[in-house]
Structure 1
Amino acid sequence: MEKEQYLFKLSSYQKLSVGFKAYLNYAMQQTDFGRLGKISLNSVELGRFCYLAKGSGRIFIYDTENEHEITIMFVQSQDILPELKLISKYIQGQLFMQFSENTTILSIPVKHSDNMHKLFQESVTLCDEINAEIIAKVIIILTGLKTLDADHRLDKLLESFPTVFSQTAVKDVASYLGIHSSTLSAMRNRNK
């Protein structure tokens, strides 16, 4: 079932040829992570076209200078993840992903990506479409940080990720919203 959802998600970006779908189905790998598991994205390669089949988590940077975590984004079931190992070399600090619950990621191993691009030209445009969607998400997040007050940023987060407080520490949500955790606690108490 998860494999079909994965192929359906990739097909939502563009129509996939029968041969390309068969290759993806053949090469697909599943990686499972436990609740509260944390991986360093500077050193771990999850593969290409990473799809969160089950579970949720957050992507964060560990700021070594100030010794604290900065939550960049939350991800949940049916999200496609960015090419995080490639991104990590451009970021000051260490890039991590922490899983809020037992999580399954489906992806295409890196060793297959060269063959995939040689055999199926459509894989290049699929990469472009996925990257465009991820960049758009980041732009929306940044725009919200610049134009919305903390209450509205919290409302937008809860719209897209209603279970965030049952799965994530308050300090991590506060980091994402750009506010102090005590401010977030006061906001939550005021809204109850």
Structure 2
Amino acid sequence: MKTVLFDAIKEVIIISDKEVEVLTSAFKIITKKKNEYLVEEGALSPNLYFIINGYVRCFYLDNGNEITTQILSTKDFVTSFESFLNNDFSKESIQCISDCTLLCISKTDYENLYKEVSNWSFFCKSVYEKYITKISDRANSLQNLSASDRYLRLLNTQPNIALNTAVKHLASYLGIKPQSLSRIRKEVIK
């Protein structure tokens, strides 16, 4: 299972056999059931997760309504980055929306990798850039695309998320009402 992580890392940096051993000991395999939380709003996020399989969503509460900000799946890293990096309380919750297998690394082990894996900082930079780009793309999408176009874009770029996420979570992520998403899906099928 860790080979998925190593393959993702090797897409960005070269790692030696010794560095693979270091990474193997730093990341632990965990499983979570559907609806279990990785992080709850207001708590610390002491771990970084790499999704082997399954789906995870990030959300916050706004006047009792859950606002989904991200839906992530295989080969994605997930944590409350602000909390993880700054040791601050999370402003969002992170919940498994399916049964998940993940790799988990603690903040301490993560920081040790900077000393033990030669290009770890370069790899982390690429992860953060991908995270920032995803958030920026979503914000631009919400501002500039119609609800139908947002759904079609997601369907074209991440069909696994579009087809395997509950309507209420997907609708929130797309910034529309569940009824509107159901109507859009029917129109797309025609």
The TM-score normalised by the length of structure 1 is: 0.83
**Partner of 1:190 in structure 2?**
187
Shift of 1:3: 0.9
**Partner of 2:84 in structure 1?**
86
Structure 2 distance, partners of 1:46, 1:172, is: 25
Gaps of 5+ in 2: none
**Partner of 1:60 in structure 2?**
59
Structure 2 distance, partners of 1:60, 1:35, is: 15
Shift of 1:59: 1.2
**Partner of 1:113 in structure 2?**
110
Structure 2 distance, partners of 1:16, 1:171, is: 41
**Partner of 1:142 in structure 2?**
139
Structure 1 distance, partners of 2:80, 2:37, is: 17
Shift of 1:114: 3.2
Shift of 1:38: 2.8
Structure 2 distance, partners of 1:150, 1:117, is: 42
Residue 72 of structure 2 contacts residue 161 of structure 2 at CA under 8 Å; is this kept in 1?
no
RMSD: 2.5
SS at match of 2:187: helix
Aligned partner letter, 1:179: I
Structure 2 distance, partners of 1:15, 1:58, is: 30
Post-superposition Cα deviations, 1:88-128, rounded to whole Å, max 9, x if no partner, equal 9587xx41122221101113222323322233342222211
* Percentage of matched positions with identical amino acids: 23
Structure 2 distance, partners of 1:86, 1:25, is: 21
1:43 to 2:43 alignment: yes
Give the 3 Å change call, closer, same or farther, for CA 69–25 of structure 1 in structure 2.
same
SS at match of 1:107: strand
Gaps of 5+ in 1: none
SS at match of 2:172: helix
Post-superposition Cα deviations, 1:14-59, rounded to whole Å, max 9, x if no partner, equal 22233322210122211211012234164253624x3100111211
Residue correspondence of structure 1 range 7-18 to structure 2 within 5 A: 7-18=6-17
SS at match of 1:179: coil
Post-superposition Cα deviations, 1:110-153, rounded to whole Å, max 9, x if no partner, equal 23233222333422222111111111111121221122111110
